[in-house]
Amino acid sequence: MAEKSFKYIILGGGVSAGYAAKEFANQGVKPGELAVISKEAVAPYERPALSKGYLFPEGAARLPGFHCCVGSGGEKLLPESYKQKGIELILSTEIVKADLAAKTLVSAAGDVFKYETLIIATGSTVLRLTDFGVKGADSTNILYLREIDDADKVVEAIKAKKGGKAVVVGGGYIGLELSSALRINDFDVTMVFPEPWCMPRLFTADIAAFYETYYTNKGVKIIKGTVASGFTAHPNGEVNEVQLKDGRSLEADIVIVGVGAKPLTSLFKGQVEEDKGGIKTDAFFKTSVPDVYAVGDVATFPLKMYGDMRRVEHVDHSRKSAEQAVKAIKAAEGGGTVEEYDYLPFFYSRSFDLSWQFYGDNVGDSVLFGDSNPSNPKPRFGAYWIQDGKVVGAFMEGGCGDENKALAKVAKARPVAESLDELAKQGISFAAKI
């Protein structure tokens, strides 16, 4: 069993880890000072690709094409780039014990890693139907998607069951992206979710109506208001039927489950202050424990513009929080400081020929603008959210680069809105004037 010491350890090998490593490299680290420890077998990559280009039937995205940090237009950190930059990349290594007081991490193999400064970047893990005791949920070909190993299983199942029947459990963005990917791969796809419309955490009923009709037109069947309550399998263990709580049942060769995720904080339970299910940090991603930072999905941080503590499970924040933490660490070493994190929430998704972006907060009243006819070949529409007379959130499907920039600007500026009718009439030109 080995013992190794580093000045800095980034625990996790996902999006935040990649962007933190890049920022350390920008700021300058000496060889052997920094280690990235990941249970994944590959260097950090842009996770959103897994539910999009990775599943294309042709021209699929594959590593090394989407290693960090290509997602934000930066330099790609290939596995060998870490070495060149003096960063030790310790892969296929799961940390099973963390002692923040002793500043040590212990791997499943018993190796001990000591650090002076730790960045926790462990991200989230999927919620599994087996966790809820759903009967038959351990059958083969009931799949989840978080890491590249999961995506490889989906790709294998797509190949093995070509043209078969797929049931997608969950109506969030993973459910929507996976339904699209399976349909593009010629599967007969049924989506099942309990809510009255898809993506209810963000979409209004009006926005969701567009996507549901668009998906239906593409041949995806949508069953709402019920859940998967059990599965039956062939004698070989492969799933063959999904039972729904409303009494119906669906044949299935593949089931993909996207019912949510939870932040991976259990290693640190009782050792660090938590808030809203995540590790509580300040505006520099410093936790309650000296020399320990938390970034990305696991961090509950002050969202300055809303005067609120939030946890954000989106890729843009995972990149920016990682960069902020490293800048803060390096500035503090020189006796300086950096500006507080002042984040504008941003989230996007892509499926079929669709692409949307959202900025800000989806609270208050909402109004739709533009052409949301799902039969149009190039739908372009959006929505604003208005709270206390101000525009606080902006969404657009099919926006071009300048329009998406305008969405960000309006959500940041939070201008007064005269009336919902006026906003609906002006549409994207309202944001473009900000």
- By CB under 6 A, name the binding residues for ligand FAD: 12-17, 37-40, 47-48, 50-51, 94-95, 121-124, 145-147, 174, 264, 267, 296-297, 313-316, 318, 347-349
DSSP for 63-98, written as a single string? TTTTBTTGGGT-----HHHHHHTTEEEE-S--EEEE
Is the Cβ of residue 344 or residue 424 nearer to ligand FAD in the bound state?
A: 344
Q: Report d(CA 206, CA 225) in Å as an integer.
A: 17
Burial (CB < 10 A; 0-12, 13-18, 19+), residue 7, is middle
Q: Report d(CA 269, CA 99) in Å as an integer.
A: 10
Q: Report d(CA 140, CA 138) in Å as an integer.
A: 7
Q: Report d(CA 11, CA 25) in Å as an integer.
A: 17
Is the Cβ of residue 48 or residue 427 nearer to ligand FAD in the bound state?
A: 48
Report the relative pairing of strands 292-294 and 112-120 from DSSP bridges. parallel
Q: Is 6 helix (H, G, I), strand (E, B) or coil?
A: strand
Is the Cβ of residue 19 or residue 430 nearer to ligand FAD in the bound state?
A: 19
Q: Report d(CA 423, CA 5) in Å as an integer.
A: 57
For residue 50, the minimal CB distance to ligand FAD (Å) is: 4
Q: Quick one: how far is CA 303 from the chain centroid? A: 18
Is the Cβ of residue 12 or residue 393 nearer to ligand FAD in the bound state?
A: 12
For residue 261, the minimal CB distance to ligand FAD (Å) is: 7
For residue 298, the minimal CB distance to ligand FAD (Å) is: 6
Is the Cβ of residue 106 or residue 432 nearer to ligand FAD in the bound state?
A: 106
For residue 59, the minimal CB distance to ligand FAD (Å) is: 19
For residue 335, the minimal CB distance to ligand FAD (Å) is: 29
For residue 433, the minimal CB distance to ligand FAD (Å) is: 27
For residue 240, the minimal CB distance to ligand FAD (Å) is: 26
Is the Cβ of residue 126 or residue 417 nearer to ligand FAD in the bound state?
A: 126
Strand partners, 141: none
Are 190 and 166 in contact by the 8 Å Cβ rule? The answer is yes
Q: Whose CB is nearest to ligand FAD?
A: 14
Are 317 and 140 in contact by the 8 Å Cβ rule? The answer is no
Is the Cβ of residue 15 or residue 191 nearer to ligand FAD in the bound state?
A: 15
For residue 184, the minimal CB distance to ligand FAD (Å) is: 16
Q: Is 250 helix (H, G, I), strand (E, B) or coil?
A: strand
Are 297 and 124 in contact by the 8 Å Cβ rule? The answer is yes
Is the Cβ of residue 237 or residue 277 nearer to ligand FAD in the bound state?
A: 277
For residue 380, the minimal CB distance to ligand FAD (Å) is: 20
For residue 21, the minimal CB distance to ligand FAD (Å) is: 11
Q: Report d(CA 159, CA 261) in Å as an integer.
A: 27
* Nearest alpha-carbon partner for 261 in 296, 223, 288: 296
Is the Cβ of residue 91 or residue 331 nearer to ligand FAD in the bound state?
A: 91
Angstrom CA distances, 319 to 16, 18, 44, 408, stand at 5, 8, 12, 17
Question: What is the end-to-end Cα distance of the chain in Å, rounded?
Answer: 60
For residue 353, the minimal CB distance to ligand FAD (Å) is: 16
Is the Cβ of residue 14 or residue 374 nearer to ligand FAD in the bound state?
A: 14
Is the Cβ of residue 12 or residue 136 nearer to ligand FAD in the bound state?
A: 12
Q: Report d(CA 279, CA 352) in Å as an integer.
A: 36
* Nearest alpha-carbon partner for 164 in 140, 185, 145, 180: 185
